[in-house]
Amino acid sequence: MPPAGIWVDGLVQSCIYITMAFGMVLVFSILGILNWTHGQFYMLGGFVVYYAVTAAGIPFPLSLLVSGVVVGGLGMLVEKVVIERLTSPGYGILSVTAATNALIFFFEGAAGMGFGLMNKGMATVLPGVLDMGSFSISYQKIAVIIFTLVVMVAMYIVLNRTKVGKAIRATSQEPDAASLYGVNVKWVRVIVMGIGCALAAMAGGVIGIVQSVNPFMGRVPMIMSLLAVVIGGLGSLTGAIVGGIMLGLLNSVIAYSISYYSEVALFMLVIILLLIRPQGLFGAAPK
């Protein structure tokens, strides 16, 4: 049985995957596309928090909100300028896929040129460790867990208790009918893209204090959150949460058990799951 520290570490990883997967599913539910640049918004969020904390002296929690607003705004711009055009009639799914893949390299290159390629750390934010007896956990990791809980509660309130949330749910279920009821579907798409990117950005900001920030930090989390989405079921927000939890815990436990073969084992498990249940755990069954 892995020690407690491994489970806690897995939980921290789960939190990041949940937040990112949630944003990815939101975007998929409304825009119908996988945003391949999701990992780069995560990375940009990390940089915004880094500079907000170290250069502007903004307190860390506020810096997270700033990163959500700034990078969410950037996401909205990308939706309006790139995705909206490439998802209109006359363009295929390949166009938007190619465009969002190209944006990966654009954002990484721009971040490298603008912020440099060196790792940037925020070790001074929430320093210290809580001794739990058989294991220790840093305050930074506790912040990740609290952040994820806050985000999930906030998203539940927004989606279920606000007009915007109602509009989002209506659009995801039936965009034409929602439009007939007066929902501006185009703006819902932009808002959802903003929310999705904001979630990714804040995830990047909060993990930036645990690890470090660099232009290439978004690649692996993007793949992992995509796996979480696939495990949970494309289009299912509940699935994104469950998928994220499973992936984070499994990743940590398997890595403890079989070292560097963990990625092979993890991806094999995902394939087996999809063969048994192609729609994922909570996705709608194929017709």
Binding site for other proteins (CB under 8 A): 2-3, 5-6, 9, 13, 116-124, 127, 129, 131, 135-138, 140-141, 211-212, 214-217, 219-220, 251-252, 255-256, 259-260, 262-263
Instruction: Give the C-alpha separation, 132 to 229, whole Å.
Output: 33
CB of 118 to other proteins, least distance (A): 5
Nearest approach in angstroms of CB 205 to other proteins is 15
CB of 129 to other proteins, least distance (A): 5
**Nearer to other proteins (CB atom), residue 119 or residue 173:** 119
Tokens linked to 82: 């790139």
Name the minimum Å distance from CB 116 to other proteins: 7
Residues 218 and 228: their CA atoms lie apart, in Å, by: 15
Q: Enter the tokens of residue 188.
A: 């819902």
In this complex, which beta carbon is closest to other proteins, that of residue 154 or of residue 264? 264
Residue whose CB is less far from other proteins, 239 or 248: 248
Residue 84 or 263: the one with the smaller Cβ distance to other proteins is: 263
Q: Which is nearer to other proteins, 38 or 189 (CB)?
A: 38
CB of 255 to other proteins, least distance (A): 4
